[in-house]
Amino acid sequence: MSSGLHKKIESLRDQIRHHNYRYHALDDPEIPDIEYDRLLRELQALEAEYPELITPDSPTQRVGDAPISAFGTVQHELPMLSLGNAFSEDELREFHRRVLDKLELDDQAELKYAAEPKLDGAAVSLLYENGVLIRGATRGDGTTGEDITHNVRTIESIPLKLLGNGYPDRLEVRGEVFMPKAGFDEYNAKARAAGEKTFVNPRNAAAGSLRQLNPKLTAERPLDMYAYSVGVASGGTLPRRHSEIIDQLQEWGIKVCPERRVVIGADGCLEFYKNIGERRDALSYEIDGVVYKVDSLDMQAELGFVSRAPRWAVAHKFPAQEELTEVEAVEFQVGRTGAVTPVARLKPVFVGGVTVSNATLHNIDELHRKDVRVGDTVIVRRAGDVIPEVASVILGRRPSGTRRVQLPKKCPVCKSHVAREEGETVARCTGGLFCAAQRAEALKHFVSRRALDIEGFGGKLVEQLVAADRLKTPADIFQLSTKELSELERMGEKSANNLTASIQASKSTTLSRFLYALGIREVGDATAASLAAHFGKLKNVISATDEELQSVADVGPVVASRIRSFFDEQHNLDVIDRLQEYGVEWPESDPVKTPKDGALSGKTFVITGTLPTLTRDEAKETIQEAGGKVTGSVSSKTDYLLAGEKAGSKLAKAERLDVTILDEAALEKLISS
C-alpha cells in the first residue's frame, strides 16, 4: 500500500481535527459546513475502502463501540477533590483573608485569581497518552469513578487526538460535561412529543447521558464540555500559572470556557461574580456560581489542602435556583386569550434570590405528566426572570389520600364553559366578550383598524379604562361621555371630543367588520367576510349549524365548532344585543341560496390535492351549486373524496374507510348525470 495513501488519509484527519478545533474550541469556523462535510465524507470513503488503516483516534470513530453490559471502575491517580463554598460577600472576603494569611502577604498584596463560571453539569476526567484519548471517567466519589470512555468519545467538542505538539506524554484533563440550554429545551420538546421521559434539568441531562450503556444514545444528545484543570501531567512540562495552562489546553484543541478571566484580590473576584450574575440568563449554558483559584501553581502548592478541598480555590455560589417546598393548592388562571392554565400555590420558599409562592404548571397535560397533587413535596425551579415552575414531584414524600387534579369544566372567572379542542394542549374559556380575564385584549381587538376602527382608541387607553373597571364589554365603549374621557390622564378636551366622534362614527359598520370585531377564535377578516357574504344577516350566522357553517368557503370543522361555541354562550349574545341597542348597525342582505335539489343533494364531499382545472374554492362552489355539501375532514359520513395530484393523508383515510374517490372528470360526470 502506497505511502501516498497514508499521507492522504492523515492529511484529511489533520484538516478535520483543525476545523473541529476552530468550530468547537474557538467558535470561529474557517470553512462552511458543506466543505467540512466534503472532507469528512472523503475520509469515510477511504476508510471504508481500506479498513485496515482505521485508527481509534480518527474523527470518523466517535461512535464505534458496541453497547457495554456494565460500567468499569477507574481509580483516579490524583483525587478529584470538591471545592469549599462561599455564599456571600463576607464569606468570599474571609476566604481571601485566609489565603493572604497562609501566604504571609499583607492586605495590599495584588494576589491574582483565575476566575470562571461554575458550570452546572457532570465532572469528567479525560486521559491522553501521546496526544490520543484513551480513557474517560466520571468524578464518582473523587477517588473512584466510572469508565465512560465509550460515551465521551461521542462528544464532538472532545478531541480524540490533541493538536500541535509539546503536550506531556500522559495528560489528564478535567472538565465539566454539560447540555446547553437550547439543546436541553429541544431534546425535552422532542421527548415530550414522542411521549418519552423528559429531563428535569440540564445537569441531570448531562449526567444521565454519560451513564448510557449504549454510546449511540449518548451521541444523540447535544452534549458539550469545557476543561477547567489538569490532573496528572507526566513526560512534559506545563506553565506555572493556572490561567496559562487553560490557554495551553485550548491551543491543543481542548474546549475551555470563554468567560474565564484573571482578576486581582477579593474586589476583582466580586466584580467578576457580579458581571457574570447579570449575564447569567443570557449564557448558553447553566451555571450555579463562580470558581476562583489562586493563579500561581507555586502558591497553590504552598497553600495545600484541608480535608478533601484545596485551600487555594473556592466556589462562590449563586442563590439556589431549585428548592424543595409543598403544594398547598392547585388553581386555574385564565389568560388574556382565554387559555386556562394550572398554577401551583406553594408554601413560600426562597429560591433564585426571591421568595416564591406560585409556580406555573404550563397546561393540563404537563400537570398530569408530572402528576402534581395538593400536599406533594416538589422541586421548584427559578431561573432569572423566568416564571418559577414545578420541576418534579418527590413521590416518596407523597401523603396518602391525594387526588389527581382535573381540568375545571367552568371558567373560574366567568363560569363559562371550558373547552379543549382535539389535538390541542391548551384548554380555553369560551366566555369571550364576557370574561373579565380576556377583557382588555378583546377590547383592543374590537377597536382595532380592521374591526370597528375607532380612531384614537389605543391599547393604553383600553388598559386604563379596564383597570378602572369602566369597560367590561365592548358595549360599554358606546356609553363613554366626552366629559368622562376628558378627565382621564393625558386626555384633553379636544382629544376627548375627537374620540367621542370616532366612537359615534364606528356605529355605522359592516357585518363582516362586526363579525371580525367579536374576536371569535380562528375567524380572521377574510373568514368574517365569507360568513357575511354567505349568510347575509347576523341572525343567520348565530343560528347556523355546524354543517351550514362548513358550507362557507374557508370554514372547516374546527372553525365551525369555534363559531358555534361562541354563539352558544348567552353572555356573548347579551353583549351583541346591547351593542345593537346602543346603535351599532350594518346593512344586511339575503343569504346565498344553496340549491336543495340537485344531482349532489344529500351528499358530503371532501376535497384534497391539486385539481387539473379547478381551484379548491371553485370545486367547492361547483359541488354546492349542485346541492352537495363540502367539509374539511374525511369521516365515515363522507360520501365522496375529490382528489387531485399530491393528495396526502385524506386520500389514505378515505381508502381505509372505503369512501368513493373521484377525480375532476368523474365529478363533472356525476353532476351531469
Active-site annotation, residues: 118
**Rounded distance, CA 314 to CA 83, Å?**
6
3-class SS of residue 501 = helix
Q: Which amino acid is at 125?
A: S
Q: Kindly report the three-state secondary structure assignment for every residue of 106-166.
A: CCCCCCEEEEEEEECCEEEEEEEECCEEEEEEECCCCCEEEECHHHHCCCCCCCCECCCCC
Other Cβ atoms closer than 10 A to 447: 23
Q: What backbone torsions phi and psi does residue 283 show, to the nearest 5 degrees?
A: -65, 150
* Cα 662 from chain centroid (whole Å): 43
What sign results for the dihedral spanned by CA atoms 186, 192, 194, 197? positive
**Rounded distance, CA 401 to CA 364, Å?**
21
Report DSSP letters for 529-592, one per residue.
HHHHHHH-SHHHHHH--HHHHTTSTT--HHHHHHHHHHHH-HHHHHHHHHHHHTT-B----PPP
Which triple of cell numbers denotes residue 97? 483573608
Residues 6+ apart with CB under 8 A from 94: 86
Phi-psi region at 558: left, alpha or beta (left = phi > 0; alpha = psi -120 to 50): alpha
**Rounded distance, CA 552 to CA 512, Å?**
14
Which triple of cell numbers denotes residue 432? 369571550
Q: Which amino acid is at 148?
A: I
DSSP structure class, residue 472: S
Other Cβ atoms closer than 10 A to 584: 20
Do the Cβ atoms of 549 and 555 come closer than 8 Å? yes
Q: Which amino acid is at 353?
A: G
**CA neighbours closer than 13 Å in the CB half-sphere of residue 561:** 8
Burial class (CB in 10 A: 0-12, 13-18, 19+), 593: exposed
| Total count of residues recorded for the chain | 673
**Rounded distance, CA 418 to CA 410, Å?**
5
Which triple of cell numbers denotes residue 273? 461574580
Other Cβ atoms closer than 10 A to 643: 22
Residues 6+ apart with CB under 8 A from 258: 27
DSSP structure class, residue 48: H
Burial class (CB in 10 A: 0-12, 13-18, 19+), 602: exposed
DSSP structure class, residue 229: E
